[in-house]
Amino acid sequence: MPIYIIVEGKNDRSKLRPLLSEEISILCTFGTLNSAKLEALRKQVKDDEVFLFLDNDSSGKRIRGVLRDAFPDAVQIYTRRGYAGVEGTPEEYLIAQLEKAGLEDYINYPPPSFI
């Protein structure tokens, strides 16, 4: 079954893409959501598994509310307040949140760094 993660923008997608296997599709809302964009997301996702990973700011919370209504079974993934959105979140924290959401089988773990 396909798995989708919905994020706000292309920079969020670019930040997550190297951390996740190609089996995971990352879709963008590109900020605002109107009924046409929402319907397009619904058609693309169908009844597949959905994760919502949105910024922890007023815009992200508003978009999360709309998407929560559209995808009531979606798993919610959060970034920490104080980070500049998903794109500004450190990789280690993103990986921890993806693991917490149960996506560890799809994570491309970076090689350990030897200092």
CATH of residue 91's domain is 3.40.1360.10
**20 inside domain:** yes
SS3 59: helix
Please count the structural domains in the chain.
1
Tokens coding 69 = 């209504």
Is 91 within a domain?
Answer: yes
SS3 88: strand
109: in domain = no
**CA–CA distance, 12 with 62 (Å, rounded to integer):** 17
Per residue in 61-74, pLDDT (tens digit) is 899 999 999 999 99
Give the containing element (helix H, strand E) for 48.
none
Domain membership flag for residue 66: yes
Whether 61 is in a domain gets the answer: yes
| Phi, psi values for residue 97, rounded to 5° | -70, -40
Which domain does 87 fall in, by range? 3-104
Share of the chain above pLDDT 90, in %: 72
Q: What's residue 23's pLDDT?
A: 94
Q: What is the pTM of this model?
A: 0.91
Say which amino acid occupies 100: K
Query: Considering the domain boundaries, does residue 113 fall inside one?
Result: no
User: What average pLDDT does range 94-106 have in this prediction?
Assistant: 96
